[in-house]
Every structure is written in structure tokens, then in C-alpha cells.
Amino acid sequence: HRRVRARDLVAAKERGERWAMLTSYDQYTAALFDRAGIPVLLVGDSASNNVFGHETSLPVTVDELIPLVRAVSGAASRAMVVADFPFGSFESGPAQALATGVRFLKEGRAHAVKLEGGARVAPQVDALTGAGIPVFAHVGFTPQHENLLSGYRVQGRGGDADRIVDDAVALAEAGAIAVVLEMVTSDVAKRITHAVPVPTIGIGAGPHTDAQVLVWQDMAGLRTGKLPRFVKQYADLDAILDDAARRFAEDVRAGSFPAEEHTFH
């Protein structure tokens, strides 16, 4: 299979074919999701929470994400691998964004990058695109702005619906090859999906986007506790691994592991 490219994603939109994207932060999930036919893998700054155990996405750094990007791109033979710009790695301007993008492609072997923000970051999108780096935009609820946005809140319910649509259009005009829509009303997502020629990828954005993305540990039930309403859990990995760890420990305590077949003579 050849590598998924930006034009494949646009062609899928034109044919009305929906597709799924997942996060990935390591070689096993990358190879597995690639084999399952997931066309785009995102090494999200959500690694901050889901890999490094921070409370928010803010602390993770480019230096911490690059080895994860490298692991994912090394293991995925078909999927487009997207590296997510962490907080503080692009806001200063196009030069900073370009430096970060170059690092993710050179050192991480990513195929594309993603950055959060509205029309204000269009110059960054333009600079990256000009350098040959495909960009995924990300509008609506942007977790890196959670302090300013006063927490995880659905966007587009007040007078901000038109502004979110304008942001998405400005970013597509600046060259973004896709737009992630996070926690926006289904109505706003539908408007944007019709307004831009590139695919929209929803997370908590309803059924009208061209694609859907979930964090893999949410999708597979490794994360427990109160999950966002937009998550659907397709497996219960927490229960599966809990059971495996308990049975391993029990076998060791009972002396039934290792058995003869695990033993060298």
C-alpha cells in the first residue's frame, strides 16, 4: 500500500466517503491501527495526559513528542502521520512554527503537522505550507486555551458560531489540508464542512464532518472514569489488562509460572 496523501483525503471528501483517525504514541498501536486501515494517525499533544500523565495538554514539549512521532512513523507503512504542535511551539509567529514543523518532519519523520487556533494562526499555516509541510488546523474548543476558555466547553452556541466558521475558512485559505473541529455544535460543524474544500475531522462535533477522530485510549477503554460525552468505547482494555496482570501475579505467587515450557535447561 502506498502512503496516504493530502489529495487522497480531499478525493474522499469529494466522493462522500467518511474515514476515521486515531491518536497513536507508540509503535504497537501505530502498526495495529495502520493494519486496520486507519488512514491518518495523530501523535497528539494529548500525549501530555495520555502518556506522560499530566493534568492538561500544556506541559508536553516538542522534545518529548519527537521520539513518539518517530516511533509511530517508523511503524506505520500506509497511514499519514501527523505531529501535533504543543503549547508554546508556534504561537510566536511563522518563524517559530516553521522551526517546529521542520523538526517534526526531519527528526520525527512526520508527514504533516497540526496546530490549534483560529484565523490568528493563518500566517503560521501559510509559512508551513510554503515550506512544503502539510498542516491540519484545529478550531472550536482548543485544549491549549482551556485557561482562557474557562474549561472544556462546547463552542459555537453563543454569538461565536460565525467566528468559528470564519476561522476554519481562513485556515483552509491559508493552505490547511484538513480542519479538526473539537466540541462544536453539530450545526457549526455542518456549516464548516460545506464551506471548506478540505476534509473536516470532528471530535465532539456531531455526524456531519468528513471524518472523526478519537484518542485511542478513550476509544479502546484504557482510560476509565468520567469520559467526555463524545467518546464511544469500542473495547474494555482496562478490564482486559487488569485481569492479565492479576492472573500473572497469581500464577507467580502460586508457583505455576514459569512452567516447564518457559524454562531453559
Gap between the Cα atoms of 50 and 213, Å rounded: 15
Pick what 213 binds: ligand KIV, Na ion, none; C-beta below 5 to 8 Å, kind-dependent: ligand KIV
Single out the segment in contact with ligand KIV by CB under 6 A; choices: 25-33, 39-47, 159-167, 230-238: 39-47
Phi, psi of 22 (to 5 degrees): -130, 155
Q: Which is nearer to Na ion, 38 or 264 (CB)?
A: 38
Q: What's the helix, strand, coil split of the chain in %, to 5?
A: 45, 15, 40
Active-site entry in 107, 173, 182, 261: 182
Report CA-CA distances (Å) from 157 to 129, 154, 186, 213.
Answer: 31, 7, 10, 22
The residue whose Cβ lies closest to ligand KIV is 44
Pick what 215 binds: Na ion, ligand KIV, none; C-beta below 5 to 8 Å, kind-dependent: ligand KIV
217 binds ligand KIV (CB under 6 A): no
84 binds ligand KIV (CB under 6 A): yes
3-state secondary structure of 24: coil
Phi, psi of 155 (to 5 degrees): -105, 150
DSSP single-letter state for residue 143: G
In the complex, which residues of this chain contact Na ion (CB under 5 A)?
44-45, 84
Q: Residue 250: how many CB atoms within 10 A of its CB? A: 11
Q: Which is nearer to Na ion, 49 or 73 (CB)?
A: 49
State yes or no: 84 annotated in a binding site: yes
One character per residue 182-211, x = contact with ligand KIV (rule: CB under 6 A):
---------------------x--------
User: Annotated active-site positions, please?
Assistant: 182
Please state the residue numbers annotated as binding site for Mg(2+): 45, 84, 116
